A and B are shown apart, each in its own frame.
Chain A
Amino acid sequence: MSANEYVVRTKDVAKEFIMGDQVLRALDGVQLDIRRGEYISIMGPSGSGKSTLFNMVGGLDKPTEGSVFINDVDMAQLDAHELAYLRCRTIGYIFQTFNLIPVMTALENCTLPMIFAGTPTEEANEKGIALLKMVGLGERLFHKPTELSGGQQQRVAIARSFANDPAIILADEPTGNLDLKTGKEIITLLKRLNKERGVTIISATHDLKMVDVSDRVVWIRDGKIERIEERADLDLKVGQMEGEE
């Protein structure tokens, strides 16, 4: 099925924010097709509309104009129950600030999406343990987020995002709050999971280390797609950037 080649498609997406009596057009006619199993980075300076686009793609916010399709389903047509279902099972979210629930242990955080999906507790726990082992936190199951380092918290968040075997992982600046080394580890982990599990990873970032592992990089400026670079063009650039460091 050719329609199924793309897991996310946006059609003329525009988003306006009203700031007092001014209208701010954060996105302006964005057209983006994301292939299944792709590792794609959305890059751009802050205020470029990068996060806004990211929120549209993830069903976290509604576009003012245009439509977003996930697996050929128009997000605007979904009611609250269907939207929650989609967020729960089709999309996994990773945030810059980790966003673990502070009152829950690593394992409980990890099983929460499964509980929302109606998975029996025992089955959810088993899978949660497996996922935490997958990200290298098999020894930290019962630690609270405050007892974990930033990198470890992000690993829990990654494990959590895989809870319901989503088709898409959305990562919003996943390395933004981490030091260089830990950031690299997180990127390597994401790439590994992308390859092993064939999950589509969409990440909004301005971390150039991300470019390294991306299949495509989308550059956003002033609410529009400036250019899209394929893997082949990227290899050359990364070489140059590492030279600068």
Chain B
Amino acid sequence: MNNTTANANVGRQVQLPLRKAFEISLKSIRIRFWRSMITAGGIMLGIAFLASVLSTALVQAQMPDAAMDAKALQAAQNRQTWLVIMSLLVCTVGITNSMLMSVTERYKEIGTMKCLGALDSFVVELFILESGLLGVIASFIGWFIGAGMILLLAMSSHGAAIVAKIGFLPILGTLGISMVVGVGLTMIATIAPAIRAAKMPPAMALRAEI
């Protein structure tokens, strides 16, 4: 019997609609609420720090600080760049660790899903959606705390006018940067372990002891 006739009675598994994957991911987060919140907490702190540094820069730009010469300004900016890079590094390590753990502890679940007919791409999709959702929520809260704190402080020492002076758009800009960085980092940290788990033969995923 040749292959074409042999395969005639085996169809091809269809890709599930995104809505289904979204439903399952949301459920996963809801059930593991506290665990998810701790993961989200790490992302949130990193993004809060980033947002506070960005907002501080905005506030400082509005200061009529004649005393500060160009050289000192340059030094302050360098220090800030350094701080942002450090905060992002810490954030990335934390997020990668959390997502790696959340994937490895679910190898068995992944193996089971594959036995039930899930495609590799569906498994990856599931984890990326889950981490993306966490990333969106955590980044927003992080931004709210970080930027909010700095702006409140600025308002208390320089009056509410300072916020009006900075303007709505630059503040929105810090939100944009925080979201892109937070969600981006979370998803990147998930992709590698999720692909690794999805590609395993189900027998190996089921056997995996964590």
Interface residues of A (CB under 8 A from B): 55, 58, 60-62, 71-74, 77-78, 80-82, 84-90, 93, 95, 97, 99-104, 112-113, 115-118, 160, 164
Contacts and interface: CB of A to CB of B under 8 A. Distances in A.
Residues of B in contact with A, size category: 20 to 34
A113 B20 CA distance: 13
Contact of B203 (A61, A80, A100, A118): A61
B116 interface: yes
Query: A71, A72, A84, A102: which has the most chain B beta carbons within 10 Å?
Result: A84
B110 to A, nearest CB: 10
Residue among A86, A116, A160 having the largest count of chain B Cβ atoms under 10 Å: A116
Contacts of B11: 82, 85, 89
Given A99-B206, A113-B117, A81 B201 contact: no
A71 B5 CA distance: 12
Given A81-B12, A103-B28, A115-B20, A60 B109 contact: no
A93 B116 contact: yes
Contact of A82 (B12, B28, B31, B203): B12
Given A72-B6, A112-B116, 12 more contacts: A60-B202, A71-B9, A78-B7, A80-B119, A82-B12, A86-B10, A87-B116, A87-B202, A95-B206, A102-B109, A116-B122, A118-B16
Nearest to B5: A72
16 contacts: A60-B206, A61-B202, A72-B6, A84-B118, A85-B10, A85-B11, A87-B116, A99-B108, A99-B112, A101-B109, A101-B112, A103-B32, A113-B117, A116-B13, A116-B118, A118-B14
Q: Which 6 A-B pairs have the closest CB atoms?
A: A88-B117, A84-B13, A116-B117, A103-B31, A61-B203, A60-B203
Contacts of B12: 81-82, 85
Contacts of B157: none
A16 B118 CA distance: 27
A83 to B, nearest CB: 8
A73 B201 contact: no
B3 interface: yes
B23 to A, nearest CB: 9
A61 B204 contact: yes
A42 to B, nearest CB: 15
A69 to B, nearest CB: 8
Given A73-B10, A78-B10, A118-B14, A87 B115 contact: yes
Interface of B: 1, 3, 6-7, 9-14, 16, 20, 27-28, 31-32, 108-109, 111-120, 122, 201-204, 206
Given A80-B119, A87-B116, A103-B32, A115 B204 contact: no
B198 to A, nearest CB: 10
Given A99-B112, A101-B109, A60 B27 contact: no
A73 B6 contact: yes
A62 B119 contact: no
A116 B3 contact: no
Contacts of A117: 117
Contacts of A102: 31, 109
B7 A73 contact: yes
B61 to A, nearest CB: 47
Nearest to B116: A113
Given A77-B6, A82-B12, A103-B27, A116 B203 contact: no
Contact of B16 (A80, A93, A101, A116): A116
Nearest to A89: B117
A77 B6 CA distance: 9
Given A55-B203, A60-B206, A101-B112, A82 B10 contact: yes
Given A77-B6, A81-B13, A82-B10, A60 B115 contact: yes
Given A60-B206, A82-B12, A85-B12, A77 B117 contact: no
A84 B15 CA distance: 11
Looking at A58, A81, A95, the one whose CB has the most chain B CB atoms below 10 A away is: A81
Contacts of A72: 1, 6
